[in-house]
Amino acid sequence: MIKELHTKLVNGKITSVALTEEYFSRIESRDAEIGAYLTLMKESALVQARAVDEKIKNGEEIGMLEGIPCAIKDNICVEGVRATAGSKILDNYIAPYDATVIRRLKEAGAVIIGKTNMDEFAMGSSTENSAYQVTKNPVDITRVPGGSSGGSAAAVVADEAVFSLGTDTGGSIRQPAAFCGLVGLKPTYGRVSRYGAMAMGSSLDQIGPFGKTVEDVALVLSCIAGEDSMDATTAEGAHKPYESFLSGDIQGLRIGIPKEYFSEALDPRIKRVADEAIEKFKRLGAEIVSVSLPNSEYALPAYYIAMPAEVSSNLARFDGVKYGLRVNDNEDSIKKSNNLLETYLDTRRFGFGPEVKRRIMLGTYILSAGYYDAYYIKAQKVRSLLRHDFEKAFEQVDLIFSPTAPEVAFKIGEKTDDPLKMYLGDIYTITANLVGVPAISFPMGTLEEDGKNLPLGGHLMAKWFDEETLLCAADAFEKGFK
């Protein structure tokens, strides 16, 4: 889709201003029902679009993303624009700088049209935990779009943005992509700078793109990936044109099928669609190999120990002193120790929602004296075991395949009273974050429920820093799927 729009811009069939206005028109007509956006940036977007049109008019070459409207998850900073992370505690926060990914998008000439809704501080799998609104799945508005990047996914599938950025700590890009019938990529940890993304779990978070095609996702990755002096965890290496690896040829590629992911616990209807996807990979020339990830049963508990511990640490900064919401806003009174404590307590009590409080309390308990070794250290040891499992599996195969989620998009409100049931939906995605490998969700079929064909996502994981093979395989499947 991006290439098609680029060609139209270059050939003068459309202008970036007209294209941008068309997307704002769709947002105006549809988004009251969908709820994908929290903040719109029409004035600055049109300024960006006019600059692109002027370049084309002057006969200058434009890049592939130049003039293309996109949306940004609201926990990624855009200078001069409100960044709430879906939380009341940051309701009045205006980002004073651009995240590295935003700077790179701006340098590439992309037109940023708005900030999208999300589960508060990226904690959730349904975008029902936002302090502002519930985002609906445009495929079926009675269902969730997934989370925590549900607004970013909904914006793309509703044609309210060409592509979008989200963040993924345990599946927050891939699960919404699966629920909405999109392509969503979590790059290798360190492939994309996290500078300017509000931290949830620092050893797990990654920024990545949503698109309608694998090619769109590859084009965006080419723009945002690369080493960054502002993020010490980014890996060295030159920028790559990831779209150039989409050859459609996966002859001889070895795809691993972990027996642990295809147990009797998997819904037989979803297993049937996944089996059909495996057969399709075979027809495309891939070799299917059975593999084992023996420690995968411990991934979910390890994740829900490591992640809340990092949440507790990262969210300590939101105390009502330097920025964001402050309750008991009296400079003289908060200097007194007892009133300062009251300010901390009241600000966090009113500023944070139930899920954020739940994870902070879990994490604080995990890190407390007497429990740190029993829980947090043990979870880190499990991560090491999981990494060993993946290293061993990747000696036999190039990719690992499974469904993205154990279900289709569920009804709004269906799981809000049962957090554990919600957490179990992350079972196929969290392992990629725990071990840091790149992973992608792509449409692999549909499942009929309530008379509607709901999307199902296929999930591929690759070796560390091998996004090329990952994208190539997903692209080959997409082309063969049509």
In the predicted model, what is the mean pLDDT of residues 89-118?
A: 97
For residues 38-63, average pLDDT:
96
Tell the residue number behind the tokens 């990624």, with chain if given: 76
Confidence (pLDDT) at 204: 97
Q: Which range has the worst mean pLDDT, 302-311, 329-338, 366-375, 473-482? A: 329-338
- Bond prior to 148 in cis (omega within 30° of 0): yes
Q: What does the alpha-carbon distance between residue 63 and residue 289 come to, in Å, rounded to a whole number?
A: 40
Residue 263: the pLDDT is: 87
DSSP 8-state secondary structure symbol assigned to residue 459: E
pLDDT on residue 334: 44
Domain ranges of the chain: 2-245
pLDDT attached to residue 329: 56
- Cβ neighbors of 193 (< 8 A, separation 6 or more) are 99, 100, 101, 207, 224, 226, 228, 230, 231, 234
Mean pLDDT of the region 295-309: 95
Q: Of 100, 110, 134, 197, which Cα lies nearest the Cα of 415? A: 134
Mean pLDDT, rounded, of the chain:
94
Helices (H), 15-57: 16-34, 42-57
- Per the DSSP assignment, residues forming a β-bridge with 452 are 449
pLDDT at 321: 83
Model confidence at 106: pLDDT above 60: yes
> Residue 59: left (phi > 0), alpha (psi -120 to 50), or beta?
left
Task: State the distance between the two ends of the chain, measured CA to CA, in whole angstroms.
Answer: 15
CA distance 63 to 206: 25
104 in Cβ contact with 152 (< 8 Å): no
What is the rounded average pLDDT of the residues 86-100?
96
- Region of 283 on the Ramachandran plot (φ > 0 left; ψ -120 to 50 alpha; else beta): alpha
Q: Which of 324, 322, 321, 325 is nearest to 334 (CA)?
A: 321
Q: What angle do CA 268, 272, 278 make, to 5 degrees?
A: 135
Q: Of the listed 126, 172, 222, 296, which one is catalytic?
A: 172
Please determine, for residue 335, whether its predicted confidence score (pLDDT) is greater than 70: no
Instruction: Answer yes or no: 357 catalytic.
Output: no
DSSP 8-state code for residue 253: -
Per annotation, catalytic residue among 16, 55, 73, 164:
73
- Residue 341 to residue 319: CA distance in whole angstroms: 10
Nearest to 99 by CA among 76, 65, 118, 75: 76
The pLDDT, as a whole number, for residue 338 is 57
pLDDT tens, residue by residue, 180-226: 999 999 999 999 999 999 999 999 999 999 999 999 999 999 999 99
- Dist. CA 167–CA 123, nearest whole Å: 11
Is 421 catalytic? The answer is: no
pLDDT at residue 265 in the model: 86
pLDDT at site 333: 46
Tens of pLDDT, residue by residue over 391-413, are 999 999 999 999 999 999 999 99
Catalytic site residue from 16, 87, 148, 296: 148
Note the pLDDT of residue 342. Answer: 83
- Going by pLDDT thresholds of 50, 70 and 90, the confidence category of residue 236 is confident
pLDDT above 90: percentage of residues in the chain: 87
Residue 211 CA to residue 245 CA, distance in Å, equals: 17
Q: What is the mean pLDDT of residues 249-255?
A: 96
How far apart are alpha carbons 99 and 94 in whole angstroms? 13
CA geometry: angle at 101 spanning 163 and 42, to 5°?
Answer: 55
pLDDT, tens only, 359-375: 999 999 999 988 998 99
What's the topology of domain 2-245? Amidase signature (AS) enzymes (3.90.1300)
Q: Is 73 a catalytic residue?
A: yes
